[in-house]
Structure formats: C-alpha cells, structure tokens
Amino acid sequence: MIVVMKDGTTNEHIDHLSHWLNEQYGIHVNTVVGTGTTVLALVGDTAAVDKDALLRDPQVDRITKVQEPFKLANRRMHPQDTTVEIAPGVVIGGKKIVVMAGPCSVESREQIIDVAKHVKEQGATVLRGGAWKPRSSPYSFQGLKAEGLELLHEAHKETGLPVVTEITNPKNIELFMDKCDCFQVGARNMQNFDLLKELGQTRKPVLLKRGFANTMEEFLMSAEYVMAGGNENVILCERGIRTYETYTRNTLDISAVPVLKRMSHLPVVVDPSHAGGIYWMVEPLAKAAIAAGADGLIIEVHNDPAHALSDGAQSLTYDSFQETMTSIRRIAEAVGREV
C-alpha cells in the first residue's frame, strides 16, 4: 500500500502516522522523500489496513493499493488453470469447450424435454433453464419455481444432461441440492453476499455471472466470497456490461475473457444471448468468445422462440443453434480446442 502525503507534511506528522500504523497493524513504513511529494510505502499484511480510515488523516492525499484484494481466486496463488467438473466427464476449463444450452424459462414438461433432447443432439453437454426468474417488472412471468426445478430434473433423467439453473434466495439451497448439478448466480445477485456465503458452504459448482455494472475486481471478490467458504468450484461468466450504447442490450466485454484468465485460475464462460439481447448477434458473439479464449458458452435455445414466456428475442431456434454449433466447432479447432 502506497500513501501519498500532501505537500508540507511535517516529519513529526509522518513519524506519528508511521508509529500508529506499526502499532495498530504491525506494518512497517518506508518513507520516500521526493521533490515536493513524500510517499509512504507500507510493508506487511496491508490487507487489514483500512484505506478509508487513513484517508481521514488531513495530510494524506491519496492511497494506492499494491496488492489485489482477492486471494483464493488469484492466479498468483494458484498458477495452474482450475477445472470444474459439473458432472462425470463434463469438465469446464479443460481442452474441451462446454456448451450449456436451453430455454430462458422452463415452461412445461414437453418443452424442456424437447429442448434438452435437441441441444444434446447438437453437442451441448449441459442443460440450462430458469425456474426462478428475476424480472424487472412485478407484472412479468416470474418462473415456474419449484415445479420448474422438478421439470429440469426430469429432463436430466430423460437425457442425462447435467442441469444449471439460477438460484435467487439462500432459503432454496436445500431444494436445489438434489435437483441440479450447478447453481447459477445471476448478474443482479452477483453482490448478494448472503447468497454467496451460503453457496460457499456447499460443494456444488457455482456459475457466477458478472453483475452488469461490476468491475472485474469486484467480480473476483464475489468469487472469493464463495471460495472463502470452502467451495472452490466457481465458474466465471461474462454476460455483457451496461454502457451508454443503447443499440445492444448490454455491451459484451470480450476483453474480460483474456483478463480474467490472466488474473485468475478459474474457468471463464460467456453468455452471448444476454449480452446482445437479440438472436442474430448470438452466433458472432459466440465465435468471438471462443476465439478470445473462453472455456465455454451458455446459450438460450427455445423450441418456439416467438411464443417464449421470457427473453424470446434472444433465443435461438433449433436450426440456428445447429448452425451456431457448426461455426463454433470451426473456431474451436482454429484455437486448438474442440467442442
């Protein structure tokens, strides 16, 4: 941690502050006197030092943290790639690119089983589908809830595909434990710390979506919440961020793929459906994601998008999903991987 002092700070002041830091936190302070500016370089376990409190010192001008605040998710602590096994043989983060596909919402037994069969046939190895649906409007369809979860489980039994589905309330964790293979934490809940902490107590994989206005550092801090509980099976998911551009629903932050892979050892997947918000962008964004190094994709596919109960605009039909899979395969090969 680097503390920049204001011009004209006295030596007494600096001595006093250094003494206090040492006493309070066991920190050793190196004073570097420059032309016009003095900086204090703090050495020791500075994670505990309260930056806010230091900023109250009337002679402190600015503070810079030198160490990243996430530890367990940090690649420095764990240089090898982590792989997360969602089900036997379905591993995220290895050579094989994993495609998770399915409808935005589970709507009926027929629908979810039909979609599951079709996406499996095209090469998807995980079934996605929403049972609890967080919606901006209280007047929109909120999902089939427990019934939806049950239907996902039936689709799993029918097809063998492991299931990833969104959880929005810690009180439902027990219910989910036997019915799905991977929890999904949605963008709006990325900083629902109560939920993250309780998921950290399980050992089931967590697909953590980046909040649409969260930095990559905050994203990794949320992964850290889950990992700090002992659950290291975290999959990071970039799904578009909020910017001033209104043509697309969100702006897919494609740079997040190489950056997250560099900062962290956790696997990274991309959601091209929510990022663009419209079906014709799914294929180009999916291809870009794989080209940039993503370990997987989560894609919305619907048997009848025009009559979907939610997010129909961005869902692929069976035909367009098939085409998308074909193009993805080519890109995967071009980067030395396979689908």
- Report 248-277 residues binding its own copies (CB under 8 A): 248, 251-255, 257-259, 262, 275-276
Q: Which stretch binds its own copies (CB under 8 A): 83-91, 115-123, 174-182, 218-226?
A: 218-226
Instruction: List the one residue from 32, 121, 157, 230 that touches its own copies (CB under 8 A).
Output: 32
Nearer to its own copies, 118 or 132 (CB): 132
Give the three-state DSSP class for 231: coil
- Report 317-336 residues binding its own copies (CB under 8 A): 327, 330-331, 333-335
Instruction: List the one residue from 168, 184, 231, 233 that touches its own copies (CB under 8 A).
Output: 168
Determine the Cα–Cα distance for residues 185 and 163; give it in Å rounded to an integer.
14
Determine the Cα–Cα distance for residues 77 and 75; give it in Å rounded to an integer.
5
- Report 113-142 residues binding its own copies (CB under 8 A): 134-139
Establish if 36 lies at the interface with its own copies (CB under 8 A).
yes
Q: Which residues neighbour 299 within 8 Å (Cβ) at sequence distance 6 or greater?
A: 99, 100, 101, 124, 128, 271, 272, 273, 282, 286, 316, 321, 324
Contact 270, 239 (CB under 8 A): yes
Query: Least distance to its own copies from the beta carbon of 162, Å?
Result: 25
Main-chain dihedrals φ then ψ at residue 112, nearest 5 degrees: -70, -35
Site string for its own copies, 282-301 (x = CB under 8 A): --xx-xxxxxxx--------
Establish if 201 lies at the interface with its own copies (CB under 8 A).
no
Residue pointed to by tokens 């016009």: 36
Token pair belonging to 35: 């032309």
Nearer to its own copies, 86 or 260 (CB): 260
Query: Which stretches within 170-247 are classed as H helix?
Result: 173-177, 193-200, 216-228
Binding residue count for its own copies, defined by CB under 8 A: 107
Nearer to its own copies, 106 or 161 (CB): 106
